[in-house]
Amino acid sequence: MKIKKYQGETEEQVIEMAKQELGNDAIVLSIKRITPTGIFSIIKKPYIELTASYDENKVNIESKQKGFFIDLKGKISSNSSLEDKLKEKDNTIEKLEKRIVELEGYLEKAMKSLSIDKNSTNNKYKNQVVQFIYEMLLSKGVHSSVCNYILEVVDNEENQNIDLIVKIVYTKIVEILNNVACDSLEIENNKVGEPKTIVFLGTTGVGKTTTIAKLSSQLIMNKNKKVGFITSDTYRIAAVEQLKTYAEILGSQVEIVYKIDDVKEKINKLKIMNDYIFFDTAGRSHKNQKNMEEIKELLNEIDNPEIYLVVSSTGNFEDIENIISAYSKFSNFNLIFTKIDETDTIGTILNIAYYAKNKIAYVTVGQNVPSDIEKFSGEKIAKVLLGSMYK
Ligand SMILES: Nc1nc2c(ncn2[C@@H]2O[C@H](COP(=O)(O)OP(=O)(O)OP(=O)(O)O)[C@@H](O)[C@H]2O)c(=O)[nH]1
Ligand SMILES: [Mg+2]
């Protein structure tokens, strides 16, 4: 026997649903009126829940499930083309509701301790919920002008529907972030027989070499690709050793570039045996003009590189903006945000997405190689901004 639950507005409705799907042999175990608790007491109306048991050998649920569509308010309507509807509503209420569920714990706690004074003249927004979200976004490093862009449309004193406000805010944040999400990366689609050189730039200690190790391990282990390494970081002995250690573990070749004239030759050497060449560079201060000139010269030696600027999400917005602007003068790149696990101000990523508009390819979430790297997802960052953990 199997158990299935149905939710609706009335008893008749849920009984009818169960009957239609499970047939007359199904046994009704309970019918309860459920009053949502916590933040759901605000965003969801009470509803009726029927629990039924049925014989899975007699009832084929898969084929019968078409025909019912449960919308956000628990209304059940007959619908013969459920699949079409779901496809069409890819980014829809149901999906949003699932995400908002994940924010429940945080919002509930936060609303309880809501210390915003209704009459405070310091409040920027008229609506208390909007003011609360504003302060939360600010505390996570979102720039006040970006907050304003997101929140001004929901700042209406009468609108106390938290569900609606959160949904609008979440959707706006995701929109800004996904606008800069990279959808096609050479690193993931390189054609057989056309080795691609992938260059990693960035200031000191942001995680370039570790990110190279993560990405290359995944290509080698999951996609059976061959990856060769080059480093131009000869300033620190440990840097070459670090890359060599990873290369040894992965069974990859390493070449070291001591002078600019070596670059082409070393790349060509690695091209013979590899699908990708990952080019590690020394961490350089973007404020040093000579450093920037050297990087520019280096890039000029590489045919059609795919470039990643690695930035640490623990840095502040203005600094990251300056770094991006310094590198933008001579190269086109995608961004990789590292150390998401270490930052309390993930809002910096939203600021960069809003102002700098560079595409973001990956985020890294810890020191483990190769697991702690993920494709950039606007939804995940938006959830963190609204109080959830990054997971
Ligand atoms: N917590 C955390 N640490 C990271 C992450 N990525 C890299 N690191 C750590 O950051 C430190 C510096 O990493 P590297 O990969 O050597 O940085 P780099 O940019 O190559 O440094 P330079 O070559 O000296 O400029 C190491 O201790 C890494 O383990 C991350 O996503 N989270
Ligand atoms: Mg390094």
- pLDDT, tens digit (0-9, with 9 covering 90-100), for 118-165: 555 678 898 888 999 999 999 999 999 999 999 998 888 677 678 889
Q: Which atom of ligand 1 is nearest to the CA of 283?
A: 25
Q: Comparing C-alpha atoms, which of 2, 42, 49, 47 is closest to residue 22?
A: 2
What kind and span of H or E run contains 67? Answer: strand 67-70
Q: Average of pLDDT values for 373-382?
A: 95
> How would residue 179 be classed by pLDDT, with cut points 50, 70 and 90?
very high
Q: Which atom of ligand 1 is nearest to the CA of 206?
A: 19
315 lines ligand 1 (CB under 6 A): no
What's the CA-to-centroid distance between 175 and ligand 2, angstroms?
33
- The answer, yes or no, to whether any atom of ligand 1 lies below 6 A from the CB of 209, is yes
Atom 24, ligand 1: which residue's CA is nearest? 205
Q: What is the pLDDT of residue 101?
A: 60
**Ligand 1 neighbourhood includes 207 CB (under 6 angstroms):** yes
% helix, strand, coil for the chain, step of 5: 45, 20, 35
Domain chopping of the chain, boundaries: 2-88, 93-178, 186-385
Ligand 1 within 6 A of CB of 220: no
Residue type, 241: E
Q: What SS3 class is residue 4? A: strand
pLDDT of residue 110: 61
pLDDT at position 65 is 37
Question: What's the average model confidence in pLDDT over 202-223?
Answer: 94
Residue 341 CB–ligand 1 contact under 6 Å: yes
Burial 277-297 (b: 16+ CB within 10 A, else e): bbbbbbbbebeeeebbebbee
Residue ID of nearest Cα to ligand 1 atom 21: 205
Ligand 1 binding pocket includes 210 (Cβ within 6 Å): yes
CA neighbor of 195 nearest in space, from 121, 138, 264, 275: 275
- Over 90: is that where the pLDDT of 331 sits? yes
Residues 374 and 213: their CA atoms lie apart, in Å, by 13
Q: Is the per-residue pLDDT at 85 higher than 50?
A: no
Neighbours of ion ligand 2 (CB under 5 A): 208-209
Asked whether 364 lines ligand 1 (CB < 6 A), one says yes
Structure tokens at 305: 């590189």
Q: Which of 87-96, 194-203, 253-262, 377-386 has the lowest mean pLDDT?
A: 87-96
Identify the band that residue 39 occupies on the pLDDT scale cut at 50, 70 and 90.
very low
Residues 186-385: name the CATH superfamily.
P-loop containing nucleotide triphosphate hydrolases (3.40.50.300)
Average of per-residue pLDDT values in the chain: 83
Q: Return the residue whose CA atom lies nearest to atom 7 of ligand 1.
A: 207
- Give, for ligand 1, the residue of 278, 363, 367 to mutate: max count of ligand atoms closer than 8 Å to Cβ: 367
